[in-house]
Every structure is written in structure tokens, then in C-alpha cells.
């Protein structure tokens, strides 16, 4: 028989002893006090390795690298390479010292991808970058339109300047492939192992550039060549024996083997305070790059020459349909129409 609440007496009430007699040794009283992080130091994340991160901070004597752990409240996937964070604790940088990341500052942009094209499974790869260098090979493996197009969609969506670096130009010209992107005015650099990279280095100087590409296209070799003048001075950045580890291409599948296991930021100068100081962020080779989380309208709106036209589009226009105002906008020149066609092709493939 179930008794009604009206028939309960004091014997039916379970008493919390810690509340009756005050907090016991096992129960900590609640407090409204919050940690004071007013003296926290701002740092940049340059590497994430499971529970530890490497941070770059500006110290009185110059820049230095420290090791830190993420505060529990931030969660497991809360920080990525490129993040600006607030850190507290031991920031001496001495061996065995450990600071703590307590806050992730707002990101100006981020390079993200969705897994298996599911918009709800979005992964952030890096943050706060100036340029995206899409690295493809002229051959072995063959360049893939799908990866380049998807990377461009993310770049335009986030306001990141895209550039294309084609490696292994000694194996093929790659000109037919690159012709696809001529109307988008994307800077293109063609390299091989013995190339003079001075022009490319000038493009990267003073900027934070993320390298993105399939495994086996030669990203690690490219990184080694770009860092040739400084790798021996920055061994703390995970460079083994003066070089990043390189890989090859599987002859059966035509796919590259992974040689970089996590994103890492590397300095483009032998000195942190060099006049041409810049960073490249090397990322693991990607096998899939979903963009289900990207809105097509936001991508096209990043091109100012189309802003007046898209202002006349209907609500929720995909900008790739018969009723789109861009189809009949009188001020669009032939060059504009060519760029629009390229953008629409990029979006349709994504």
C-alpha cells in the first residue's frame, strides 16, 4: 500500500547530517567566491599533445615557450593550435615547470571540418590564422579537386586568405589542374625539393599560415625546406634530427602515409624576434574534409563585388538557383561572372 504524503511523519524524512550539524570533513560548503585570474598571462598555443600544451608567451627578456595543462572546466577539446589563452601558475619555462590554461580568448577565425559530412560533428583544427596554404602534388598522388574546393569554402567562410602550393613539379606541370582556379585570383606556388623558396617565404613572412593537404603530397619536405635556416635552433618544436619526418605514397592505393600526428606551429625565423618573423602550422594529412557546417551564403558574401547583388536575393537563397539575383545583376562584369561560376562550382562540389 502506497502512503500519501499527508500521512508522513518525522520518521519518514531522511536527514542530511552535514546540513543539520554543519559541514563535515567529507562535505565542503558551497561558496560564491571564484578564482581570481586578473594576473593571468596571455599566451599562444603552439602544440597540443593530449593533456599538455606548449605555449608561447612574451616575457621581459623576449618570447619563451612554457608547458601547461588545461583546466578541468575547459574540457578535453577546448584548445587548438593558434588559440590565444590565459595562463596562471609557473610560467618560468624551467624544466619540470607546469602552468595552467584557464581561459580561451575569443577566436577571430578557425579552420574546421565536419566528420563524414555531418554538420553536428564539427572539429576545430587550428584557430586565429591569416592564411591557408593548400598543398597539393602535381603527381604521386594526383591532385584532387574535392579537397581544394572544400578547403577554399572554409577559407572564404572564415575570412582566411587561401594560397595554393603545388609540390613535385618535377614529376608533372600541373597547369591543367591549376587552370580551374585562375578566376579566383589565388596565389599559386610550384615547388620541388631543390626549389628556391624565397618568393614563397616572402608570402609567408609576418603571417600565421596553416598548411593543409593529403598525406604524401610533400608537406613535411616543404616544411623542412622552409625551415632550413632555423630548424637546428628550434628543436623544442618537435623537429627530430633537424628535420620533420617525411613519408611516401602507397603504390597500391595511391594514398600517402601519415607522418605528422598532430598540428604544430613552427617559427619561420632563426630568432623569435626576427624582422621577418612568421609561423607555419603543419597539420596531419587529411583523408576527408567535410563542410556540412558551412553556409553557402556566407561564403559568397565574403566577395565584396557580389554584396550589392546578394542584397536583392530572397531569404535563404543558396545563390546557386534560378531565382538568385546574381543571375541577372547588371553591374557584374564578365570577370565577375567567371569568378561567380567558379565559386558556385566550389560550393556544389562541397
Contact 212, 184 (CB under 8 A): no
Dump pLDDT digits (tens) for 24-74. Answer: 555 566 666 667 777 899 999 999 987 799 999 987 777 889 999 999 888
Q: Let me know whether 165 and 52 are in one domain.
A: no
Domain at 221, CATH number: 3.40.50.300
Q: Let me know whether 215 and 247 are in one domain.
A: yes
How does 263-288 read in b/e, with b if 16+ C-beta sit within 10 Å? bbbbbbbeeeeeeeebbbbbbbbbee
Reported for 188-193, long-range contacts at CB under 8 A and 24+ positions apart, including other chains, are 188/163, 188/164, 189/163, 189/164, 189/165, 190/138, 190/165, 190/166, 191/165, 191/166, 191/167, 191/222, 191/225, 192/167, 192/168, 193/221, 193/225
Question: For residue 205, is it within any domain?
Answer: yes
Q: Let me know whether 232 and 340 are in one domain.
A: no
Average pLDDT over residues 97-117: 87
Angle at 184 between CA 159 and CA 227, to 5 degrees: 65
Which cell goes with 32?
A: 560564491
Average pLDDT over residues 270-299: 73
Confidence of residue 196 (pLDDT cuts 50, 70, 90): very high
Instruction: Give how many domains the chain has, as a whole number.
Output: 3
Confidence of residue 199 (pLDDT cuts 50, 70, 90): very high
Helix, strand, coil content of the chain in percent (nearest 5):
25, 25, 50
Report the Cα–Cα distance between both ends of the chain, in Å, rounded. 64
Average pLDDT over residues 136-158: 91
Dump pLDDT digits (tens) for 307-319. Answer: 888 889 888 888 8
Which cell goes with 164?
A: 595554393
Residues 250/253/256/257 CA torsion (nearest 10 deg): -70
Q: Let me know whether 147 and 265 are in one domain.
A: yes
Question: For residue 229, is it within any domain?
Answer: yes
Looking up cell 617565404 gives 201
Q: Let me know whether 88 and 128 are in one domain.
A: no
Question: For residue 75, is it within any domain?
Answer: yes
Q: Which of 62, 72, 63, 65 lies closest to 45, judged by CA?
A: 65
pTM recorded for the entire structure: 0.77
pLDDT higher than threshold 80 for residue 11:
no
Q: Of 282, 311, 339, which marks where a domain is finished?
A: 282
Question: For residue 114, is it within any domain?
Answer: no
Question: For residue 141, is it within any domain?
Answer: yes
Q: Of 259, 282, 305, which marks where a domain is finished?
A: 282
Question: For residue 182, is it within any domain?
Answer: yes
Phi, psi of 327 (to 5 degrees): -65, -30
Which cell goes with 300?
A: 559568397
Which cell goes with 9?
A: 511523519
Q: Let me know whether 128 and 225 are in one domain.
A: yes
Q: Let me know whether 278 and 302 are in one domain.
A: no
What pLDDT sits at residue 38? 76
Which cell goes with 181?
A: 582556379
**Boundaries of domain holding 75:** 41-104
Domain at 86, CATH number: 2.40.50.140
Question: For residue 68, is it within any domain?
Answer: yes
Q: Let me know whether 217 and 335 are in one domain.
A: no
Q: Let me know whether 131 and 274 are in one domain.
A: yes
Q: Let me know whether 275 and 323 are in one domain.
A: no
Dump pLDDT digits (tens) for 164-173. Answer: 999 999 999 9
Q: Let me know whether 186 and 156 are in one domain.
A: yes
Question: For residue 330, is it within any domain?
Answer: yes
Q: Of 104, 132, 147, which marks where a domain is finished?
A: 104
Contact 161, 212 (CB under 8 A): no
What does the mean pLDDT of the chain come to? Answer: 80
Q: Let me know whether 129 and 59 are in one domain.
A: no
Cα gap 309→213, rounded to integer Å: 34
Amino acid at each position: 500500500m502506497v502512503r500519501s504524503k499527508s500521512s508522513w511523519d518525522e520518521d519518514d524524512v531522511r536527514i542530511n547530517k552535514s546540513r543539520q550539524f554543519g559541514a563535515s570533513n567529507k562535505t565542503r560548503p558551497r561558496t560564491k567566491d571564484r578564482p581570481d585570474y586578473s594576473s593571468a598571462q596571455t599566451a599562444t598555443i603552439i602544440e597540443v599533445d593530449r593533456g599538455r600544451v606548449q605555449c608561447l608567451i612574451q616575457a621581459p627578456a623576449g618570447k619563451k615557450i612554457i608547458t601547461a595543462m588545461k583546466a578541468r572546466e575547459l574540457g578535453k577539446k577546448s584548445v587548438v593550435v593558434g588559440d590565444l589563452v590565459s595562463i596562471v601558475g609557473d610560467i618560468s619555462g624551467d624544466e619540470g615547470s607546469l602552468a595552467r590554461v584557464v581561459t580561451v580568448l575569443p577566436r577571430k577565425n578557425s579552420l574546421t571540418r565536419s566528420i563524414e559530412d555531418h554538420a553536428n560533428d564539427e572539429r576545430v583544427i587550428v584557430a586565429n590564422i591569416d592564411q591557408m596554404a593548400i598543398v597539393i602534388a602535381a603527381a604521386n598522388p594526383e591532385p584532387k579537386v574535392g579537397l581544394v574546393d572544400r578547403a577554399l569554402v572554409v577559407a572564404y567562410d572564415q575570412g582566411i586568405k587561401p594560397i595554393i602550393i603545388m609540390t613535385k613539379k618535377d614529376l608533372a606541370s600541373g597547369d591543367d589542374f591549376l587552370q580551374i582556379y585562375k578566376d579566383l585570383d589565388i596565389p599559386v606556388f610550384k615547388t620541388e625539393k631543390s626549389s628556391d623558396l624565397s618568393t614563397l617565404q616572402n608570402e609567408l613572412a609576418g603571417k600565421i599560415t596553416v598548411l593543409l593537404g593529403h598525406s604524401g603530397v610533400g608537406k613535411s619536405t616543404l616544411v623542412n625546406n622552409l625551415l632550413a635556416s632555423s630548424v637546428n635552433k628550434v628543436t623544442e618544436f618537435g623537429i627530430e634530427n633537424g628535420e620533420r619526418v617525411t613519408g611516401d605514397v602507397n603504390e597500391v592505393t595511391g594514398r600517402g602515409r601519415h607522418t605528422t600526428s598532430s598540428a604544430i606551429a613552427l617559427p619561420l625565423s632563426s630568432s623569435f624576434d626576427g624582422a621577418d618573423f612568421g609561423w607555419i602550422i603543419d597539420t596531419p594529412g587529411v583523408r576527408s574534409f567535410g563542410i556540412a557546417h558551412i553556409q553557402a551564403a556566407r561564403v559568397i558574401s565574403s566577395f565584396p563585388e557580389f554584396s550589392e547583388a546578394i542584397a536583392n536575393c530572397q531569404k535563404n537563397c543558396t545563390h546557386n538557383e534560378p531565382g538568385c539575383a546574381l543571375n541577372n545583376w547588371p553591374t557584374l562584369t564578365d570577370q565577375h561572372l567567371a569568378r561567380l561560376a567558379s565559386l558556385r562550382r566550389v560550393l556544389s562540389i562541397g
